[in-house]
Structure 1
Amino acid sequence: MNRIHHQPQAKPLISIIVPAYNVEAYIDKCLASLHSQTLQDIEVIVINDGSTDNTGAVCEAWKAKDNRLHIIHQENKGISETRNIGLAASKGHFIGFVDGDDWVEPQMFERLYNAVQNYSADIAMCGAILDEADKTIKIHDHAQKEQRLDACTALIKLLWDKYVRSYCWNKIFRASLFKDIFFPPGRIFEDYSTVYKLFAKANAVVHTGTNDYHYIQRPGSILSSLNPKKEVDFFLANYERYGFIASYKGFTRIQRKLLLIKTIKRMLRTNLKLKNLSGENEFLQEKAFMDAQLRDLFRKDYKAENYKNYKLLLNIKQYLARFGL
C-alpha cells in the first residue's frame, strides 16, 4: 500500500478520535476503514491507552502509511479521559469518534459531513450495525431516509433512548459544542452522561438515512455483563439527566413530565438490580446514595396525593405513545 501524503491543514474538516486499549485483533481493520474514507480532509487521533498487547505497534505501522494519523501513547486512563485527551488535541471543524475495536463504511464521514453542510446542522448521525461473530444481530438508530430534526425533537428522542441513542461514535459534532463539556472521568456510560448535553446546544440534528458504523460486540465486555459499577454509573447518569430534564426550558409541561417518569423508571430498575449486595460489597455506600436520592425525588416530586396518578403513568404505555415518546 502506498503511503498517503496530505498537505497539513490548519483545520481539517473532521477530527476522528480513536481510543484504543488492548485491541490488537481489531485495530488494523479499524484504521484501514479510516484510511479508506472518501472524505480525505480528516485527521485521525489514535490514543493508545496503556495497551499491554501489540496495539501500539499496529498504530505506528499505520502512521507510517498515512500522515493524517497522529498517535498518542499514554498510561492507562480509561475511555473518558482518553476521549478528553483526544478532544484537546483535535483541530477539526467537526469531531467524530470511532472505538478501536469497531470499523466504519468508506463513505461514512463524507455522508455525515455533507449532511451537516446541506442542512446547516451542528450534529449528523447514521445508523449503527451491531456485529457479533461476523454476523449482524441488530441495527441501532436506523432511519429509512435522510431527515433533519429540530433541536428539541432530537433531544426528546435522545432522552427517550429509543429512536436516537446516546452513542457518540455514529455521529459528528460541531467542535464548538464541546466548549465546557467533557466526558466524566472514571465512569462507565460516559456517552450516556455526555451526548444529551451536546444535543441541548445544537441547532439541529440530521440523520443520513444510512447504516455506516459497525459496532463489534465482544464476549465479556463490560456492557454485556452484570457489574455493580456499571449499574451505579448508569444510575448516576440518569440522576444527572433527571436534573437536566427538570430544568430545561425547551420542553412542554407534558414532555417534561413524561421524560422525568421515563428517567426515574430507569433509576428504579437499576437500583433494584443491586438489592442483594452483601455486607462486604464495595458498592454499599453507592447503593445507600441511590436509595437516598430516590426517596428524595419521591418526596419532592411525587407527593402522596399524586402517587396513584404517578403509578398509573408508569404502566400505561399507550399514554406515552400518544405523545410520540
Structure 2
Amino acid sequence: MEDILRPIYQERASQTNTLGVLLVEKKLKLSHITDSFDVILLVIVKEAEQPLFIKQYSYNHQKAAMHIITEAQLQEWLLLGTNRRIFEWLQDAKIIFDRNEYVENLKTELREFPFNGRKIKMGLEFAKLIRRYVDGKALFESKQFLDAYNYVVHSLHHLARLAVIENGLHPELTVWHQVKQIEPEIYKLYEELVKSEETLEKRLELLFLASEFMIHSRTNIGTSHLLEVLSGKEYWSFNEIMNEKDLMPYSVDLAVLIEYLIEKHLIDVVNIETKGQGVFHRCYCVHEKLS
C-alpha cells in the first residue's frame, strides 16, 4: 500500500512546513496499534490551523489513515501521555521523510529519556495518583465500594506508570507487562485487588494500607519537579501556581496535590493579610527545611 500512498506523502514532504513523514504498518494480530487500519501515515508539521487533522483512505479492501499533527501537539502528547500509541508509532515507524534529522533526533531523545523530562512526567503521574487515591479513599469511607474500586484501579495504574518512568522507560500500552518485570510488588497489589476472594470491602481496605506505603516511598521523587518550581519564589497564591507555565500540565490535579503536600509538611501555608479583619489570602511556600 506504500506505493499507493506515495503521491500523497511526497506532496506533504515537498512542503517546507513538514518536519517529518512516517509510515506505520499493521503488525500481525496487533491491529490496535494502528486503530485497525492497515497503514498509518504520520505527518509532523511545524504549525497548522488544527493541531490534529485526519484523512482516511481505502484501496483494494485495505484502509489507511493520514494523521497530520503539529509539533506542539506532538510534544503535548509526549509530555502528558494522553496519546499512548504515539510512542509505539515513533518507535516502530518507517521514516519516509526527515527534515534536518528532526525525527531521528526526536527518537534519540525518547530513547535516552533525559532526567529532566522524566522528572516532569513523574510529577504529572504522581499528581494523578494522589487525585485518584484521595477520591477513592473518600468513596471507600462513605461505603461506595464499587466506585472506590474504580478509582483504586486508576490509582494503581498511575503508580505503575510512575514506577516505569522512574526506571527510565516510557510507559507502553502494555504497562502491566512492564511493571511485572520492573516492580513486581506493584503488580502483586493489582493482582490482589482483581483476583482475591476476599470481600470487596476487605480488598480495598488492605490495598489502601499498602498503597499508602508505596505512595509515601515515592513522594520525594514524585514531587521533585513541583517543589523545584515553587522554590523559585518566597510564596505563591494558588492562582499564580495554576498559571505558572511549567505547572499548567498538572491542571485539575493541582489543588489536591497541594493539600496532600501540606499534610506531609512539604508545603506550608502562608497567610497574607487582606483589608477584611481576620480574613487572609491563603498562599503557599516550600517547607523551609526543603528550600
Q: TM-score, normalised by structure 1?
A: 0.31
Larger RCO (CA within 8 A; separation ≥ 6): 1
The structure that is helix-richer by fraction is: 2
Q: TM-score, normalised by structure 2?
A: 0.34
